Structure formats: structure tokens, C-alpha cells
């Protein structure tokens, strides 16, 4: 009984539980927007959120991961105060990235819906960069539950907001984009509140410069971009080669399938800090339990996919069911990646995830262009399966090499 109570209070269970709540809220938001917008406009929202997440990584320049690693290791020349200053500078700079890079991609992916949506999308993008940097800082100092709750808070606001907008019968791409920005801005406030409360131990004599941080974080930037494109790039290519209707169906299927990532993503937050402090025995135990839980969740999700789609979304989304099954299979190797990438990052091997991300993104891009014209959304799903499997393989091999080196 004592062990069960101790497990229930553990940070790992708390983080995974919060991610479960976040996934539930995200699924509710996805279902409501899918029903009220229809596949075409829902596809635009999927592209907006996908592109926002991808550009977030570009705008962070890898500093979220690099800064988190330094904070986890207790680096004397980089503090939470240093990270807050980095967040302000990079978030402001990101506005240019969204305008110069993001707006043309929206048009390329057939998701341009006028200047009003574009301007709110830019504000949303800036907020995402701030969220990413602040959240990783909280993870870096060990405040895993507070960091994870930030995303739960944002999705709770999104669900509440879409219910209000839906009852007012004014659900449009513009109103949903406004909701995304306002909820993200609220999360920025929440995360900032917790980060400024971290007690200061005095400024370091030698302060690490932003340039030095970005040089250190360069491999993490490549890893983040590669991972993001591998996970989300299929939607952008599908939108460019097909239409927003196909993206709406595919994005809805992915929302269900990605539930299998919840546990490894939550456990990965704990693994990062364990790896930074050399606690590999604890990591080994966490990985074993996580793999079993992933398999159980995957089987349950596959069994419930067809009745859930019929009940929640109706016949308009019936074609998403086989896609859910395909993406569930693809999600298992991605879950393995989510366990091993933070292990490598925490241990200081930022090159490992970078190599995995670079190789898998090239595979995804090539297969998407080859398979989407033949099989549409199914081609994108098949491309994702092979890309995810490659990411998992690279990080597993690097993790084993790292572990054998540490034993020596």
C-alpha cells in the first residue's frame, strides 16, 4: 500500500496524468472544431497549428533544449534569470520569422484565409516560442508538474472558448485562430509566474552569452526541426499536394492516434533530468514500464477508433478510421523515440537526436512526394511510419552506445 501511495505521488505519474488530461482536452477541442468547421476549414486550423509548432522550433534556435540542459546540469554560468532574458529576445525576433517564412507557407499549403487570420497567426506564433522556452526552463529546474500543467491550462481555455463561440454560432477559422492566440498568451503568463518565483542564488560571475548558448544549442535546433517536420510535415505536404479536406481528415485521425505518445512524452520529461544527473538504472526501469503501457493504450485505441469516430464525428469522417489504425502503428516507434531522445539530450549528446531528425525528415519528405499522389492521406501515413521507425532506430542505437561508454 505504501509503495502504491509513493507511486501515485511520483513526478512521473503526475506528469503522465497531466498529459492525459491535456490529451483529453485536446481531443475535445479537435472534435468540436471538426464538427463545427467541417473537414475543409478544420484542415486550415490543422495547418495553422502545425505550422505554428514548426516555426516555434525555428524561432527558438534550439535554445529551449540547450538552456534546459544547462539548467538541469546546474551550470554555474546560466540561470533561470538568464533564460527569461533569452525568452524575451527570441520571442520578439520570431515575429519576423512568422512574417517572412510562415505567411508564404500558409499560402503554399492552400491555407491562406486573408490578412486578419495571418496577423493573429503571427501573434500566436510569437506566443508559442515563449511557451516553449519557458516550459523547458521549468522542466530544467525540476518543476515538471508546473511545466506540464501550463499546456493543460491552455487547452482548458481552448475548450471553454470554443464552447462559448460555438453557442454563439460564430465558429470560423478567424475565431478559432483568435482562441489559439489568447489561450497561448494566457499560458505564457502562467509559465512566467512560476519561473520568476524560482529563488535567485545571485548572478554568476561569468554570464553565458546568447551567442554561446545558440552555438551550444545548434545541434538541438537541427534535432527539433527534424523531429517537428517528421511529426507534422506530412500535413503540410498533404495540404500542398492535395487539399484542406484531406488534411482535415488526416489531422483528425492523428489526434486519436497520437494518444499513444502521451506516456513516453511524460516519462521522457523525467528521463531528461535523470540522464543529466547520470541515474541510468532509474531510466531503465521507467522505459520497461512505459513500453508495456504504450502497447496497452495502442490496442485499446485501435478497438475504440471506429465507434468513437461514428459517435463523435459522424459519417463525414468515416474515412479517418483506417488512417487511425495506420497512424497508431506508426506511433509506437515514435513513442520509443520520445523515450530515447530526452535521454540523449539530458546526457549532453545533442547530436544524436539531430542526426535522427535530419535523416527521418528527408525520408518523410521523399516518401510523401512519392506516395501522396498515389494514395493520398494513406501515402502520408505510410511515409510517417517509415520516418518514425528511422528516428527510433537512430536514437536507440545512440543510447546504447552512450550507456556502454558510461559503464567503461
Dist CA 164 CA 323 (whole Å)? 31
Q: Would residue 60 count as lying in a domain?
A: yes
Q: What Rg do the C-alpha atoms of the chain give, in angstroms? A: 20
For 326-348, write each residue's pLDDT tens digit.
999 998 999 899 899 888 877 87
Dist CA 185 CA 168 (whole Å)? 23
Q: Would residue 132 count as lying in a domain?
A: yes
Dist CA 57 CA 225 (whole Å)? 6
Q: Can you tell me whether residue 391 is helix, strand or coil? A: helix
Number of domains the chain contains: 1
Cell 499546456 belongs to residue: 151
Q: Note the pLDDT of residue 189.
A: 93
Q: Would residue 27 count as lying in a domain?
A: yes
In order along its 408 residues, the chain shows pLDDT tens digits of 444 345 445 666 777 778 778 878 888 888 888 888 888 888 888 888 888 988 888 888 888 878 887 887 777 777 777 888 888 899 889 999 999 998 998 888 778 888 999 999 999 999 999 999 999 888 888 788 888 888 899 999 999 999 998 876 778 889 999 999 999 999 999 999 988 887 665 555 567 777 877 787 777 777 777 877 887 778 878 877 877 778 778 877 887 777 777 778 878 878 877 787 777 777 888 888 888 888 888 898 889 888 988 888 778 788 888 999 999 999 899 989 989 988 887 787 778 888 888 899 999 999 999 999 988 889 999 999 999 999 999 999 988 887 666 554
Question: What domain range includes position 84?
Answer: 10-196+209-407
pTM for the whole structure: 0.74
Q: Would residue 204 count as lying in a domain?
A: no
Q: Would residue 5 count as lying in a domain?
A: no
Q: Would residue 178 count as lying in a domain?
A: yes
Amino acid at each position: 500500500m505504501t509503495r502504491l501511495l509513493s507511486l501515485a505521488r511520483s513526478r512521473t505519474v503526475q506528469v503522465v496524468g497531466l498529459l492525459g488530461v491535456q490529451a483529453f482536452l485536446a481531443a475535445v477541442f479537435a472534435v468540436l472544431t471538426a464538427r463545427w468547421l467541417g473537414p475543409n476549414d478544420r484542415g486550415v486550423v490543422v495547418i495553422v497549428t502545425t505550422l505554428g509548432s514548426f516555426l516555434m522550433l525555428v524561432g527558438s534556435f534550439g535554445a529551449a533544449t540547450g538552456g534546459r540542459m544547462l539548467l538541469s546540469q546546474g551550470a554555474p554560468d546560466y540561470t533561470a534569470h538568464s533564460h527569461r532574458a533569452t525568452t524575451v529576445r527570441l520571442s520578439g525576433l520570431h515575429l519576423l520569422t512568422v512574417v517572412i517564412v510562415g505567411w508564404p507557407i500558409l499560402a503554399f499549403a492552400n491555407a491562406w484565409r486573408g490578412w486578419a487570420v495571418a496577423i493573429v497567426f503571427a501573434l500566436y506564433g510569437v506566443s508559442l516560442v515563449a511557451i516553449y522556452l519557458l516550459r523547458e526552463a521549468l522542466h530544467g529546474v525540476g518543476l515538471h508538474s508546473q511545466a506540464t500543467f501550463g499546456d493543460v491550462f491552455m487547452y482548458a481555455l481552448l475548450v471553454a472558448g470554443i464552447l462559448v463561440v460555438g453557442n454563439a454560432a460564430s465558429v470560423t477559422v478567424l475565431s478559432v485562430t483568435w482562441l489559439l492566440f489568447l489561450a497561448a498568451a494566457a499560458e505564457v503568463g502562467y509559465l512566467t509566474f512560476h519561473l520568476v518565483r524560482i529563488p535567485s542564488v545571485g548572478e554568476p560571475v561569468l554570464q553565458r552569452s546568447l551567442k554561446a548558448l545558440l552555438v551550444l544549442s545548434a545541434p538541438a535546433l537541427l534535432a527539433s526541426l527534424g523531429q517537428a517536420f517528421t511529426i507534422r510535415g506530412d500535413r503540410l505536404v498533404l495540404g500542398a499536394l492535395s487539399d484542406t479536406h484531406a488534411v482535415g481528415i488526416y489531422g483528425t485521425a492523428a489526434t486519436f492516434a497520437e494518444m499513444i505518445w502521451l506516456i513516453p512524452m511524460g516519462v521522457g520529461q523525467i528521463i531528461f533530468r535523470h540522464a543529466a544527473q547520470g541515474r541510468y538504472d532509474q531510466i531503465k526501469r521507467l522505459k520497461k514500464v512505459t513500453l508495456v503501457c504504450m502497447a496497452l493504450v495502442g490496442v485499446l485505441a485501435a478497438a475504440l477508433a471506429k465507434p468513437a469516430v461514428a459517435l463523435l464525428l459522424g459519417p463525414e469522417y468515416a474515412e479517418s478510421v483506417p488512417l487511425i489504425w495506420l497512424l497508431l502503428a506508426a506511433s509506437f516507434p515514435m513513442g520509443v523515440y520520445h523515450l530515447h531522445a530526452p535521454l540523449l539530450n539530458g546526457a549532453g549528446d545533442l547530436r544524436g537526436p539531430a542526426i535522427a531528425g535530419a535523416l527521418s525528415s528527408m525520408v518523410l519528405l521523399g516518401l510523401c512526394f512519392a506516395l501522396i499522389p498515389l494514395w493520398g492521406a494513406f501515402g502520408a501515413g505510410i511515409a510517417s511510419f517509415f520516418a518514425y521507425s528511422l528516428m527510433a532506430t537512430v536514437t536507440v542505437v545512440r543510447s546504447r552506445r552512450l550507456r556502454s561508454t558510461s559503464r567503461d
